[in-house]
Amino acid sequence: MRRSADRHLAVSTWLRLLHGYALIERELRRAVAAHCTFPQFDVLSQLDRERDGLTFVELSRRLHPADRRAFRLTLTPKGRQLVRRAQGRHHRALAALLAGVPARDLRALRRLLDRLRASASSRATPRPR
């Protein structure tokens, strides 16, 4: 009986995590839509973090590890301005979505998710290279 209860807890936790993620992602997509698509936002945000730019290889490893390209990408001033506006909307939307959760609960959730990631990582099958 214990193994069944453990499985139910694991599955119900996973489903709640997926549902929360899907809801938040949907709202964040809406928030940045005035500026760019969500995949474009991901690329722009990665480039915004690196003043000296990234090669395609570095960028693709951050976004989708299987790609292997080698040109250095940087943002133009217009691109940097666009991503900053989109990031502002993204951050405000996320803060609004989580406003009903006290900061101490968010910190506790973050710690729990770190533990979940560590547990899953330690048991995950390594990807072939």
- Please provide the average confidence, as pLDDT, over all residues in the chain: 86
Confidence of residue 66 (pLDDT cuts 50, 70, 90): low
Confidence of residue 116 (pLDDT cuts 50, 70, 90): confident
Query: Under a CB-based contact definition with an 8 Å cutoff, are residues 33 and 99 in contact?
Result: no
In the chain, the domains with their CATH numbers are 2-122 (1.10.10.10)
Whether pLDDT at 67 is above 60: no
> What's the average model confidence in pLDDT over 56-66?
78
> What's the average model confidence in pLDDT over 21-35?
92
**C-alpha torsion sign, points 6, 12, 15, 16:** negative
